[in-house]
Amino acid sequence: MLKILVTGATGRTGSLVVKKLQTQSNDFQVIGFGRSHEKVQQIFGTTKDFLIGDILSENDLEKAMEGCQTLIILTSATPQMKGIPQEGKRPEFEFPDHGTPEIVDWQGQKNQIDIAKEVGIKHIILVGSMGGTNPNHPLNSLGNGNILLWKRKAEEYLIGSGIDYTIIRAGGLLDKPDGRRELLVGKDDNFLNSPPDGVPTSIPRGDVANTVIAALTAPNARNKAFDLISKPEDFPHSEITKDWDKLFYQTTSSL
Ligand code: NAP
């Protein structure tokens, strides 16, 4: 049975991945890695099969990855609104002191990759974001964090690590039902540069979680990096994605 560590397990997408894996306990043993005991208890109703720690701590990661064959990285820096914006003004964002993209999306992800290599993890699935080819992407100016650039650097590091990888760069994440849409894969931010007709560059978090889980066992998802969006639900001539091999077959290995 595949033993899997999911980091960012209390995050909005990470928690979906953990919950979905928990329903497939014949095939997978899932361990969740979170920062807060209370948050784990609140989301999952139990703390069994969870480890509490920080991705900046090698010690915490070593303990969490013990005996695992696969690592799913769903940690990310999260910008916070700087107070309530004045009327007519745009909200401003900032990152907590120890939660900047450089610290979380670069040092934290690098740390996870280094420890994974040390303990013999065979496959890492990393969920990131589209937009990393454009240094002037508006997300980079949020809190002066250059978030997409640090995420991209971690992706490059993972590819160079020698561990099998699957890098999923999602479009804008939606909290909408999953399993009802046709998913589209791309590369080099082609969806952002020339969006397909009538298709927003977004995807439900649950569909990202389903893609992560399908990638655990699909040979065509190994050593691949791709952008991921979805057609809207009931989009004309669309076909709900069920054939994961067919989807992954269209992806490529380069960044
Ligand atoms: P999220 O809810 O913001 O979750 C991030 C997780 O990282 C949280 O669980 C957080 O822990 C954890 N974390 C942060 N710093 C940590 C540390 N030092 N040690 C341990 N854990 C730490 O994520 P999401 O919105 O589901 O997004 C998933 C991924 O998709 C991210 O990489 C995101 O950038 C990317 N993405 C997002 C969008 C979008 O529209 N938002 C679009 C495309 C791609 P806590 O739970 O304790 O806070």
CA angle 79, 36, 155 (to 5 degrees): 50
Six token digits for residue 221: 């998802």
For the chain, the domains span 2-249
Cα gap 220→235, rounded to integer Å: 27
Give me ligand 1 centre to Cα 103, in Å.
13
Residue 254 has pLDDT above 80, yes or no: no
Q: List the residue whose alpha carbon is closest to atom 30 of ligand 1.
A: 128
Around 217, how many Cα atoms within 13 Å sit in the side-chain half-sphere? 11
Contact assessment for residue 144 and residue 172, using Cβ atoms and an 8 Å cutoff: no
How many angstroms does the Cα of residue 193 sit away from the middle of ligand 1? 25
Tens of pLDDT, residue by residue over 165-214, are 999 999 999 999 999 999 999 999 999 999 899 899 999 999 999 999 99
> Which one, of 218, 106, 211, 228, lies nearest residue 158 by Cα?
106
Q: Are 128 and 155 in contact (CB under 8 A)?
A: yes
Q: How confident is the model over 96-104, as a mean pLDDT?
A: 96
pLDDT higher than threshold 90 for residue 90: no
Quote the pLDDT of residue 28. Answer: 97
> Does residue 255 carry a pLDDT above 70?
no
Q: Which residues line ligand 1 (CB under 6 A)?
A: 8, 10-14, 34-36, 39, 54-56, 74-76, 78, 99, 104, 108, 127-129, 170, 172-173, 205
pLDDT higher than threshold 70 for residue 60: yes
Q: Which 3 state secondary structure label does DSSP give 91? A: coil
What residue's CA is closest to ligand 1, atom 25? Answer: 12
Residue 14 has pLDDT above 90, yes or no: yes
Chain position carrying tokens 């005996």: 67
Look up residue 85 and give its amino acid: P
Q: What is the pLDDT of residues 29-52, one digit of tens each?
A: 999 999 999 999 999 999 999 999
- Single-letter amino acid, residue 9: A
Mean pLDDT, rounded, of the chain = 96
CB atoms within 10 A of CB 163: 17
What does the buried/exposed string (b/e) look like for 38-56 if buried means 16 or more CB atoms within 10 Å of the residue's CB? ebbeebbeeeeebbbbebe
SS3 at position 138: helix
Residue 71 above 70 pLDDT? Answer: yes
Q: pLDDT per residue over 107-153, tens digit each? A: 999 999 999 999 999 999 999 999 999 999 999 999 999 999 999 99
Quick one: which atom of ligand 1 is closest to the CA of 13? 26
Q: What is the rounded average pLDDT of the residues 66-88? A: 93
Is residue 185 within 8 Å of 251, Cβ to Cβ?
yes
Predicted confidence (pLDDT) at residue 85 exceeds the cutoff of 90: no
CA of 128 to the centre of ligand 1 (A): 9
Are β-strands 2-7 and 28-34 bridged in parallel, bridged antiparallel, or unpaired? parallel
Q: What is the pLDDT of residue 107?
A: 98
pTM for this model (two decimals): 0.97
- Look up 129 and say whether it is catalytic: yes
What the block records as the tokens of 131 is 């937009």
CATH of domain 2-249: 3.40.50.720
